[in-house]
A and B are shown apart, each in its own frame.
Chain A
Amino acid sequence: MENIVKGVPLIELKNVTKVFDETTVLYDINLQIFENEFVTLLGPSGCGKTTTLRIIGGFEQPTSGQVLFNGVDVTTLPPNKRATNTVFQNYALFPHLNVEGNIAFGLKNQIGEKEKPVGKFSFKKWWAYFSVKFTNLFKKKNKRKVVPDYPKNERLFYRIGYFFSKKGKLYSKEQIQEKVAEVIKLVNLSGLEKRSITQLSGGQKQRVAIARAIVNKPKVLLLDESLSALDLKLRKEMQYELKELQRNIGITFIFVTHDQEEALTMSDKIVVMKEGEIEQIGSAEDIYNDPIDSYVSNFIGDSNLFKGKTIDKKHVLLYDKVLGCDETDIEPETEVDLLLRPEDIDIVSVEKGKLVGRVDALFFKGVFYEVDVVLENDNRLITIHTTDYIEVGKRIGISFEDEDIHVMEHNE
């Protein structure tokens, strides 16, 4: 369905497999990424998310499979020829350049058609320009003459250069300066243009790294756990700024993280990965509310998992009790995992409760209390988030809406 609506995907991974020293890191990855999406690759360390990103960026070649950009096979194209730019995990800023130099680094490499030389070369005009420029070298700053205007594409050397090659640097020095100044403003680094990289804080480095990548206007921006080195407050701020940036400049972001909260707040599309395979692809709401299995539900948010059995589309069996549930397509009479999110559970009186338990511990978490409850059915511990204080040791009933029970396929 999505395919038909959005047309050809910007990036497509087809059956990508990657083997490092006889261990398979990626196994048969199929992924489509569309224009203007904020896609997050989410998973624990070692699940292959960074490798996937590196394959998209061109730093790694897949052992088998294809990488397509706009339907064109780019599998063997090196990174310098791809329409992607990367924000590296350790930022990888060039220590021999200052902030400006780092940001301008990519712009200087962009190649385009040169402007055509204008008219014929006039020696008079050149001498008028050169004599002033030369004599100015030996004068004090305040006594220098105004250099007459002499456009670059009228100059002799430009003509000779143009004769040999019609292609050259896309941007002039002035254009590069302009673009750098623009992007420095965008990422709030004004005043630090000449600062050396070693004198920047973590957050500033991060912003330089982002500026260095986005100034080239790539089709796709790849971010490799770029926020993991920041402290909580700064990270929240950067998350917001990144999302804002993506809205403003309208490019596709592919973000790699192991932080589920980060993924939920930022992404249009989350790709949950596990041991080199894609577990589930969907929007943040989809993944949180309808996780495909216990792995995804455990990875995203807190969860209480139960073993149960389906009865029909709208009912499941839990602890010999028939309960209503969220609608499911799983066939009746199959073993399933049932998911109850801690915040969906209400604490009620014992008589009204669908299940009964005893409060084992209570933790204050700021906005809510986390309550550990031992169920009477099988002495297992479940977690509840509530805003009300509750005494430890009290016998309580717990209740929930029918649609709060999410049914998932059981896997070993």
Chain B
Amino acid sequence: MAFHNSSLSKKKISFRVKLNPFSFLTIPFLILLIFLVILPFFFVIFYSLSNIEDSTLIMTFDNFVKFLTDPSFWDKLWLSIYFAFMATLMCLIFGYPVAYFIARTRPKIRTIFVILITLPMWVNMLLRVIGLKSIMELVTSWFQNINPNFHIIGTDFAVIFGEVFVSIPFMIIPIYTQLLKLDPTLLEASKDLGNNSFKTFFKVTLPISMPGVISGITMVFLPAATSIVIPKYMGGGLPRYTLIGNLIENYFVKQSNYNQGAAMALIMTVVILAIIFVVKLFDRSEVKIQKTKKQSAKVQKGVVTNEK
């Protein structure tokens, strides 16, 4: 026994991580990540915290203070989030049933539907938005014969409709893939245990499809909150529809005021992060599994150390 222990202690334990030999394939992307994502992010932070006064660089919080004390900025922020929220909600309300019924149909029809849903994505987004705008203008011209005050472009409806039109596939597809995994016998089991179809949906189908819903919300909400093109075209140039995305664009492109643009972008990032964090809280299933995985990992570790 003693001999055995001493021989073990002599052995050097290496902590080197075993690398997959093909992991070098990720290097190009890693370089991209470092130079085009991580470094620029630090630049953004640097810009937002600095200012040029009398051609000298000074470090300051002024950029943030300026926005955070400006009520019109808060209005814009609130409006951006409101539009993004409404667009996400509409995508969920109209997208979920579509995802549900596609997942229930025969495989052949399923593929056709999935292609049809993703089909608009094959066309450039800008073109789609301009196309939508001209359709709306056409419809407006018809209705203006009856009521000359009728407008679509330049209303909240138009902006939200544009967002929904562009991003509803991003809601449908994750929910659809999640529902595809749903075992139909689970629905039978739920009915067997006393739920009618309505209750079964809320107690089984919805909780199981929750990861899809969460990723759908993330994929719709994030671009919608910072979108530039849609409020620009659907807003009809009205000042109400110059949203956060457009403001940031203004600072960077038109005014070349990188410092304030960067500060605004950072504030938006923090707000979105907070919202996403709250949304993730609802995804209880994921949290549970992660916890239990950690626990089991601990148990395994314990076993290993005991053996030593």
Query: Smallest Cβ distance from A2 to chain B, in angstroms?
Result: 29
What class of interface size applies to chain A in its complex with B?
Answer: 20 to 34
Q: Is the CB of B185 within 8 A of A78?
A: no
Pair B207/A92 contact, Cβ less than 8 Å: no
Residues 190-203 of chain B, each 1 if its beta carbon lies under 8 Å from chain A, else 0: 11111110010001
A85 proximity list for chain B (CB < 8 A): 192-193
Q: Is A96 touching B210 in the complex (CB atoms < 8 A)?
A: yes
Chain A residue nearest to B188 (CB atoms) is A59
For chain B, the bracket of interface size reads 20 to 34
Q: Mark A177-201, 1 if CB is under 8 A from B, else 0.
A: 0000000000000000001101100
In the bound complex, how far is the Cα of B195 from the Cα of A85, in angstroms?
12
Residue ID in chain A nearest B288 by CB atoms? A196
Contact A90 B208 (CB under 8 A): no
Chain A CB within 8 A of B296 CB: yes
Minimum CB–CB distance for B129 against chain A, Å: 38
B189 contacts across to A, CB distance below 8 A: 86, 88, 92-94
Given A90-B183, A96-B210, are A196 and B289 also a contact pair (CB < 8 Å)?
yes
Q: In terms of DSSP, what is the predominant structure of the interface of chain B?
A: helix
Measured CA separation A196–B296 after assembly (Å): 11
Question: A207 interface residue, CB < 8 Å from B?
Answer: no
| A79 near B191: Cβ-Cβ < 8 Å | yes
How many contacts A-B (CB < 8 Å)? 69
Taking CB atoms, residues of chain A closer than 8 Å to B30 are none
Q: A80-B195, A94-B186 are contacts. A196–B208 as well, Cβ < 8 Å? A: no
Q: Please give, as numbers and ranges, the residues of chain A lying within 8 Å of B194 by CB-CB distance.
A: 80, 106, 109-110, 216
Contact of B196 among A78, A95, A98, A196 (CB under 8 A): A78
Instruction: Tell me if A94 and B204 are in contact (CB < 8 A).
Output: yes
Docked complex: A52-71 residues within 8 A CB-CB of B: 57-59
In-complex Cβ contact of B195 among A88, A109, A196 (8 A): A109
Cβ–Cβ contact A92 & B185, under 8 A: yes
- Residues of B within 8 Å of A216, CB to CB, are 193-194
A212 at the interface (CB under 8 A from B): yes
Given contacts A85-B193, A109-B194, 16 further A-B contacts (CB under 8 A): A57-B192, A59-B192, A86-B188, A86-B189, A86-B192, A92-B183, A92-B189, A93-B189, A94-B190, A96-B207, A96-B208, A96-B210, A98-B288, A109-B199, A196-B288, A213-B192
